[in-house]
Amino acid sequence: MNLFRMNFNFKGYHKDNLHRDNIKSLPEQDADRSFSISNFTESLANKQMENNAGLETQKENIEQTYQEASDYLKLLYREKELSKNQFWERLSRVRKELLNNKTYFQTYEELAYGCKVAWRNNGRCIARLFWKELIVRDLRHLSTAEEIFNACVEHIRLATNQGKIRSVISIFAPQTPENSGIRIINPFMIRYAGYRQSNGEVIGDAGSVEFTEFVQSLGWKKENKTHFDLLPLVIQMPGEEPQIFDLPPDAIMEVPIEHPEYDWFSEFGLKWYVLPIVSEKILSIGGISYTAAPFSGWYMSSEIASRNFADTDRYNMLPKVAEKMGLNTKSHVSLWKDRALIELNTAVLHSFNLKGVTIVDHHTASRQFMAHIEKEKEKGRKVLADWGWIVPPLSGSTTEVFHREFENIWIKPNFFDRNLSINSHEHVGGCPFHS
């Protein structure tokens, strides 16, 4: 198997794809085209032999990167109230760097603000009220998989903060015209394994079966399989085979799940880790693609209770909870699923609160999102959102976000799915199993 060229895309992790029809990768372009690099790329092109197809693409790439850089710098300088002179000066340095290197190096400020705006622009996140609080770690200098792994473990400790969770993003070296970029193959940095048994049943997280088989194919082994085995981190450096690393258990804080009234609940032996870390998205800022930029916030309780524990293709706990509650699972009319779902959510919130771990319930999160919309309005900005992702996976209509419509387009900076080509020149793979 040539792992190196595969575009890993694990079915259990990606169910929602329709939003892809709705992507406009750039905000409304400025009518002001005075930023065009055309003249400069023209001379670059002339310097190099004939005007062949490869050269055309290269020219378009620089043109596009420059356009995105100028769009982003404009936003940055405007929002940070920096002077026009500073803007023009910076833009001309970026242009020179682009012509020499076909890429450019962003300052820490450009990077950090870009990460925050990418969060602010991401239509799927309900917690965007806190976009300015993101801690941005600049780790672009790291060059080996070991160093990156160690930095990921530090990310986990820093963000966990003994349960007082902080939002953190770690930025590793971006893609360049010469290399396809570093890659953390795990869709989520922390996740439990799922082992398919010969009778078809799964030990662990059924959503992880495919990824677990993949890490097993790389040589990962687990002696005593449990329902909550931490999967290893898989890191791929440009042009190298993926490498696997076990996460140190002492860095991973977990919460055992119990119920405030039902003593029997803890007998399920459920637990969950405290830190959701999305690790395989491509972060696009000012024409630069950060292919390894894991970011984490805190959980909304329904992510764990309604999805991870309740989905039939995950831990599928509703029938077990309903049975213990003595509900009639033979009839939909008993609303056994709904009632079991509420108790699962109650248990998750209760258990996290008991341990003093940051978590937000869906009503509070919805309120916060509405406050974010207000705040953004004051700044003259419209909040773009994907309704299906914002409305929580229980009691939707009891939250304010349900009763709103949102415009759902994707503007940059933003986080993009890997198997979606952001720009033609950044194509990072097509069909998951064909290189």
Whole-number minimum distance, CB 299 to ligand ARG, in Å? Answer: 5
- DSSP symbol at 229: P
Cβ closest to ligand ARG, residue 188 vs residue 315: 188
Cβ closest to ligand ARG, residue 286 vs residue 297: 297
The two counts, helices (H) then strands (E), for the chain are: 11, 16
Q: Cα(107)–Cα(401) distance, rounded to whole angstroms?
A: 37
Cβ closest to ligand ARG, residue 123 vs residue 286: 123
In sequence order, what are the residues at sequence separation of 6 or more whose Cβ sits closer than 8 angstroms to the Cβ of residue 218? 3, 234, 242, 244
Cβ closest to ligand ARG, residue 71 vs residue 361: 361
Whole-number minimum distance, CB 415 to ligand ARG, in Å? Answer: 11
Whole-number minimum distance, CB 144 to ligand ARG, in Å? Answer: 28
> Which residues would be at the binding site for ligand ARG (CB under 6 A)?
188, 276, 278, 297, 299-300, 303, 308
- DSSP symbol at 219: T
Pairing of strands 359-360, 135-139: unpaired
Active site residues: 125, 128, 298, 303
Whole-number minimum distance, CB 273 to ligand ARG, in Å? Answer: 8
Q: Cα(140)–Cα(110) distance, rounded to whole angstroms?
A: 14
Q: Which region, left, alpha or beta, applies to residue 313 given φ > 0 means left and ψ of -120 to 50 means alpha?
A: alpha
Whole-number minimum distance, CB 311 to ligand ARG, in Å? Answer: 10
Instruction: Find the farthest-apart pair of alpha carbons in the chain and give their distance in angstroms, rounded.
Output: 79
Cβ closest to ligand ARG, residue 77 vs residue 192: 192
Which uninterrupted H or E stretch holds 78? helix 53-79
Residues in the chain: 435
Pairing of strands 282-285, 414-416: antiparallel
Q: Cα(177)–Cα(344) distance, rounded to whole angstroms?
A: 48
| Contact criterion met (CB below 8 Å) for 115 and 137 | no
